[in-house]
Amino acid sequence: MSEIHLHGYFGMNNLGDDLMLNALLANISRNKKVICWMSKITSQHELIFWKRTFPTIIFKRYPRSFLLFPFLITWKKIEKSIWVGGNCFYTHEKNTNLKWLLKLVKCYHKLKTPFIFLGVGIGNCDLFGKKIIREILSISHKLYFRDNSYLKFLDECEHKVFKCGDLASLFPLKNIKADNEKKGYIISGHKFFSKNKDAINAIQKAIDQLDDDCYVIDFHQGWSGDHSFNQKLSNVKYIQNQNLEEIINLMKSVKGLISFRLHSILLSDLLNLPNIAINYDPKIAAYFSRMGRSSDTLISVGEHFNPNQVLEKWTFDERKIESEKFDSMIAIKEIFHSKK
């Protein structure tokens, strides 16, 4: 039986990436042999969790040295290789992320295995980063973007690009029970702003205006995660090391959320939870535009605001999420039920 390989920022304790992976695996066919490659730092405990949750999927860690990876896939009968979700095209630490991604795509290109990007976005990148992205796009088979961020690279991918929305919109919520009495608020910062005093002060002033307990969570719990920002907040209950299910249950019990993280905002909308987004990256504004969300609940980094007044302005159009889900499912069916 031929294999389908999945890649992404998996096993790095980023709950947004876990959300997308969980949503995808819950919606793909079980008649394919699927190999999901996890980060080399994925703990044994986390591997066991994924294997128990999705017993028909094979989970493997990348080797300690990526030089060994080509030897692990050579001679395999691989139908497709798919990168799942995330703003994977962006400049970070001298483009080490893009250089690694190019190596990965080249491994499959040499085997003549189609490489597909599913539900991804393009962030800010420097000139060298753009050069690497163009090379990646040139040897990729198909590209499903969650928004129109690809427009800046349209010359490199015009004939193989599609829009599919955000995979996280497909996360199943049927077994999540809501508390009848809502108490408290969730706050979620971002590690990139841990040294930005204006960003921290604005969130702290918002917390001080709320009339109930504030629970602070790290949506990115990995090495150098969001705790570097969140631990600087006071008069809060700092909750560490929660898995996706625990955080969703917490979100179902509170009155509202204030967050930098895109997928905590999307998840709040899915859960019908009033929320305020901090517009730290173009992908946040892109989500608001796609969902028809009012800019009243979109706050600039460092901007002071009254959270009680802003949360009252939250509105949510369920039809937009249903459209996002539909587009994502169409993409999944095209990829997992087709040999092209």
Coil, strand, or helix at residue 93?
coil
Per-residue pLDDT for the chain (340 aa), expressed as one digit of tens each? 789 999 999 999 899 999 999 999 999 877 789 999 999 999 999 999 999 999 999 999 999 999 999 999 998 899 999 999 989 999 988 999 999 999 999 999 999 999 999 999 998 899 999 999 999 999 999 999 999 989 889 888 888 999 999 999 999 876 666 566 789 999 999 999 999 999 999 999 999 999 999 999 999 987 778 999 999 999 999 998 788 888 998 999 999 999 999 999 999 999 999 999 999 999 999 999 999 999 999 999 999 999 999 999 999 899 999 999 999 999 999 998 876 6
Coil, strand, or helix at residue 14?
strand
CATH 3.40.50.11720 in the chain: give the residue spans.
Answer: 3-163
User: Is residue 157 a contact partner of residue 137, using CB atoms and an 8 Å limit?
Assistant: yes
Residues 6+ apart with CB under 8 A from 242: 217, 221, 250
Class of domain 3-163: alpha beta
Is the CATH number of domain 185-316 3.40.50.2000?
yes
CATH 3.40.50.2000 in the chain: give the residue spans.
Answer: 185-316
Residues 6+ apart with CB under 8 A from 290: 147, 165, 320, 324
Structure tokens at 255: 């009155």
User: Is residue 166 a contact partner of residue 119, using CB atoms and an 8 Å limit?
Assistant: yes
Full 3-state SS string of the chain: CCEEEEECCCCCCEHHHHHHHHHHHCCCCCCCEEEEEECCCCCHHHHHHHHHHCCCCEEEECCCCHHHHHHHHCCCCEEEEEEEEEEEECCCCCCHHHHHHHHHHHHHHHCCCCEEEEEEEECCCCHHHHHHHHHHHHCCCEEEECCHHHHHHHHHHHHHEEECCCHHHHCCCCCCCCCCCCCCEEEECCHHHCCCHHHHHHHHHHHHHCCCCEEEECCECCCCCCHHHHCCCCCCEEECCCCHHHHHHHHCCCCEEEECCHHHHHHHHHCCCCEEEEECCHHHHHHHHHHCCCHHHEEECCCCCCHHHHHHCCCCCHHHHHHHHHHHHHHHHHHHCCCC
Q: Any idea which residue has 């702003």 for tokens?
A: 193
The pTM is what? 0.93
